[in-house]
Structure 1
Amino acid sequence: MNNYMNLIGKRARKASQYKIDTKVKNSVLASYAKMLDVNKGLIIKENTKDINYAKKIGLKENLINRLHLNEKKINDIRNSIISIIRFKDPINHVLEKWRRPNGLNISRVSIPIGVIGVIYESRPNVTSDVAGLCFKSGNAVILRGGSEAINSNRILSKLFRKALKKNKVDENFIQFIDSKNRKMVDVMLSKMKEYIDVIIPRGGKNLVRKVQELSKVPIIGHLEGICHTYVDKDAELKMANRVVTNAKLRNTSICGATETIILHKNIVKKFSNTILCNLEKNGCKIYGEKTLAKFYKGKIFKATEKDWSTEYLSSAVSVKIVNNLNEAIGHINKYGTMHTDSIITKNKKTANQFLKEIKSSIAMHNTSTQFADGGEFGFGGEVGISTNVLPPRGPVGLNQLVSYKYQITSNGKIRN
């Protein structure tokens, strides 16, 4: 096992040292997009094996839905690759330059990170998205998908390698760990620092926590997405109802779903029945404080301290009532996970204070938290979302998968 993983690491490191020009990168991606089109039947056949296995082991329905590929989803994967082709190559750009009085000409130039390890679950589209983004940004990538999607991931990575070979590029820019053995992940995290420059985990909090605990390699990612939508005293009811419903229920299983709704005390009486009844009518369980029961006519389950720190990832939401904006900001900064938080208000001054003082990597105004997604940001997909204080933060797309170096020239200058 160690030998297998070391071989993958050595191949990735070697591949990452090749500098591929933009024209060749785009040619590889175009070839891959075409192969996705031509091989739809084969991809669906391999995906069916995974679906059958998932049902056999009793995987939850929402996870099976994430795993499932059909013609439309394959078209979406292909379209994502085509959008990456259209993006500017982020490598070898002069980000900044200046001349010093000491005679030095200094440039800060973008470069690839090197080798990226991605550990992920369920969604096979991650294989294509990550491979495309990493390759366009000049990085080699080692992919380790979930065992429930091994057949889907295998065929998608195999087709990418085929596209690389067709364009005479080292296939090992993209490598897939073709094993269900979970110990492979342990080796990747603890024994491959020599080969992997950064690890990106994408999946549930158990996976991310394991990566955070074991990894000897730097990590880009987030543990949980406890996102909030704060409905301010100056909010407009119709907009608040529409945005909150979407933020909570459009897709309850994504990390950008709102998990706590915060209501200003002045609008609870007028707003709570419209907003919360609409959620309850659509199957959402409401956890609230005693105060809420005075105004809300629907069914309320008692909220405990634990609810403010819960990422439900289902049709359930906690509701907090606050006295003012500062209390809302304080609650979010205490219980949130620096993922995505939104304010609904017509008051621009209030909105600006919220946007500035929230610690989150993504702060929103009059917007559904479900937009926390690299594709929606125009990044052509994402390899993950980072809640780290150090950059990159938020959706990690093409332009975030780079580092930089300083290039210095002078006319034979020596330091006194």
Structure 2
Amino acid sequence: MNKYMNLIGIKARKASSKKISTKTKNKVLKDYAKLLDKEKNFILKENTKDVRFAKNKGLKDNLINRLVINEKKLDDIKNSILKIEKLKDPINVILNKWKRPNGLNIKRVTIPIGVIGVIYESRPNVTSDVASLCFKSGNSVILKGGSEAINTNRILAKLFRKALKLNKIDENYIQFIDSRERKIVDIMLSKMKNYIDIIIPRGGKNLVKRVQDLSNVPIIGHLEGLCHTFIDKDANLKMAINIIYNAKLRNTGICGATETILIHNKIVKKFCNPVLKKLEDENCKIYGDKTLKKHYKGNLFPAKEKDWSTEYLDAVVSVKVVKTYKEAIDHINKYGTMHTDSIITENKKTAVQFLKNVKSSIAMHNTSTQFADGGEFGFGGEVGISTNTLPPRGPVGLEQLVSYKYEISSKGKIRD
């Protein structure tokens, strides 16, 4: 197994050393999109095998929903690739340049990171998104998908390699680990630092925790998406109802779903029933504090301390009443995971204070937290969302998959 993985690492490193023109990169991505169209029936057939396997394994419905690919999802995958193809090449971009009094001309220029390892679960579209983003940004990638999606992932990776071959590019820019063997993940994390420059985990808390505990390679990722929406005293009621409903229930299983709602005590009496009843009518379970209990007429469960730090990923939400926007910020900074947090308010000064003082990688004003997504940011897609304090932060798209170097020239200058 070690030998097999080392060989993959060697091939990835060799492929990443070859520079490819923007024109060729875009041609590969266009060809890949065409191949997905051409092989549509085969992809759907392979996906059916995975869904059958997942059901036999007893996977939850929300995980099976992530796994399923139909014609619409396949069109979305293809469109995502074509969006990435149209984006500006992030490599060899001059970020800054200046001339020093000592005669040096200095440029800071973008370069690829090198080899990226991605470990992910369930969603097969990650295979195509990640392969496209890494390739366009000049990085080779080693993909380790979940066992439940192995047939779909295999064909999606195989077709990308075919697009590379058609354009006479080293196929090993994209390598898919075609195995359900769990030991492979441990090898990637602990024995491949000579080959892999960055590891990106995409999946549930257990996967990400395992990666963080075992990896001796730098990581881009987030452990949990414990997102908050704060309804300020100067919020618009209709807007609050719409945003909260979307932020919590549009898709409960994504990391950008709101898990805790904070309500200013000056408007709790007026706002809590119309806002929360709409959630309850859709079978959303509500945990609330003692202040909320005095005003909410629906079915309320008492919130415990653990509820403020729970990512439910389900139709469940915790609700707390706060006295000031500063208390809301303090709560978010204490219990949040620096993912995505939003304020609903018509008061611009309060909004600015919130946006500047929450520690989140994505801070929002009058916006649903479900927009925490690279595609929605115009990135074409994302490799993942980072809650690291160090950059990159937020959705990791093309421009975040680069490093940089300094290029310096002079007219024969020597240092005194």
Please classify the TM superposition score into its range, dividing by the shorter chain length.
over 0.9
Q: Does the residue aligned with 1:294 lie in a helix, a strand or coil?
A: helix
- Distance, in Å, in 1 between the alignment partners of 2:26 and 2:329 is 44
1:260 aligns with 2:257: no
Partner residue, 2:5: 5
Per-residue CA distance 1:286-305 (angstroms, 9 max, x = gap)? 00011111100001111000
Count of residue correspondences: 416
- Distance, in Å, in 2 between the alignment partners of 1:283 and 1:160 is 42
- Distance, in Å, in 2 between the alignment partners of 1:315 and 1:395 is 24
Partner residue, 2:415: 415
Per-residue CA distance 1:179-220 (angstroms, 9 max, x = gap)? 000000000000000000000000000000000000000000
Partner residue, 1:305: 305
Per-residue CA distance 1:355-407 (angstroms, 9 max, x = gap)? 00000000000000000000000000000000001100000001110000000
Give the 5 Å matches for 1:327-342.
327-342=327-342
Per-residue CA distance 1:150-186 (angstroms, 9 max, x = gap)? 0000000000000000000000000000000000000
- Distance, in Å, in 2 between the alignment partners of 1:302 and 1:367 is 28
Partner residue, 1:69: 69
Q: CA deviation at 1:413?
A: 1.0
Per-residue CA distance 1:323-367 (angstroms, 9 max, x = gap)? 001100000000000000000000000000000000000000000
- Distance, in Å, in 2 between the alignment partners of 1:414 and 1:2 is 48
State the AA in 1 paired with 2:37.
D
Give the 5 Å matches for 1:224-235.
224-235=224-235
Q: Does the residue aligned with 1:266 lie in a helix, a strand or coil?
A: coil
The CA RMSD over aligned residues, in Å, is 0.4
- Distance, in Å, in 2 between the alignment partners of 1:181 and 1:229 is 40
Partner residue, 1:385: 385
Q: Does the residue aligned with 1:96 lie in a helix, a strand or coil?
A: strand
Q: Does the residue aligned with 1:385 lie in a helix, a strand or coil?
A: strand
- Distance, in Å, in 1 between the alignment partners of 2:71 and 2:237 is 39
Partner residue, 1:350: 350
1:316 aligns with 2:316: yes
Q: CA deviation at 1:412?
A: 1.2
Question: Gapped runs of 5+ residues in structure 1?
Answer: none
Per-residue CA distance 1:217-243 (angstroms, 9 max, x = gap)? 000000000000000000010000000
State the AA in 2 paired with 1:181.
E
Q: CA deviation at 1:108?
A: 0.2
- Distance, in Å, in 2 between the alignment partners of 1:191 and 1:380 is 32
Partner residue, 2:125: 125
* Structure-2-length-normalised TM-score: 1.00
Give the 5 Å matches for 1:51-200.
51-200=51-200
Partner residue, 2:26: 26
State the AA in 1 paired with 2:277.
C
Give the 5 Å matches for 1:242-261.
242-261=242-261
- Distance, in Å, in 1 between the alignment partners of 2:273 and 2:77 is 40
1:276 aligns with 2:276: yes
State the AA in 2 paired with 1:135.
F
- Distance, in Å, in 2 between the alignment partners of 1:40 and 1:22 is 27
Question: Gapped runs of 5+ residues in structure 2?
Answer: none
- Distance, in Å, in 2 between the alignment partners of 1:52 and 1:279 is 33
Q: Does the residue aligned with 1:248 lie in a helix, a strand or coil?
A: helix
- Distance, in Å, in 1 between the alignment partners of 2:203 and 2:48 is 21
1:288 aligns with 2:288: yes
Q: CA deviation at 1:63?
A: 0.4
Per-residue CA distance 1:91-111 (angstroms, 9 max, x = gap)? 001110001111111000000
- Distance, in Å, in 1 between the alignment partners of 2:196 and 2:123 is 23
- Distance, in Å, in 1 between the alignment partners of 2:136 and 2:61 is 34
- Distance, in Å, in 2 between the alignment partners of 1:61 and 1:220 is 28
Q: CA deviation at 1:56?
A: 0.3
- Distance, in Å, in 2 between the alignment partners of 1:84 and 1:257 is 25
Query: Percent of pairs identical after alignment?
Result: 75
- Distance, in Å, in 2 between the alignment partners of 1:262 and 1:362 is 17
- Distance, in Å, in 2 between the alignment partners of 1:18 and 1:397 is 21
Per-residue CA distance 1:5-57 (angstroms, 9 max, x = gap)? 00000000000000000000001001100000011100001001100000000
State the AA in 2 paired with 1:156.
L
- Distance, in Å, in 2 between the alignment partners of 1:193 and 1:412 is 38
Would you identify which runs of 4 or more consecutive aligned residues in structure 1 move more than 4 Å? Answer: none
Q: Does the residue aligned with 2:317 lie in a helix, a strand or coil?
A: strand
Q: Does the residue aligned with 2:108 lie in a helix, a strand or coil?
A: strand
* Structure-1-length-normalised TM-score: 1.00
Give the 5 Å matches for 1:187-226.
187-226=187-226
- Distance, in Å, in 2 between the alignment partners of 1:94 and 1:316 is 47
- Distance, in Å, in 2 between the alignment partners of 1:84 and 1:266 is 46
Give the 5 Å matches for 1:391-406.
391-406=391-406
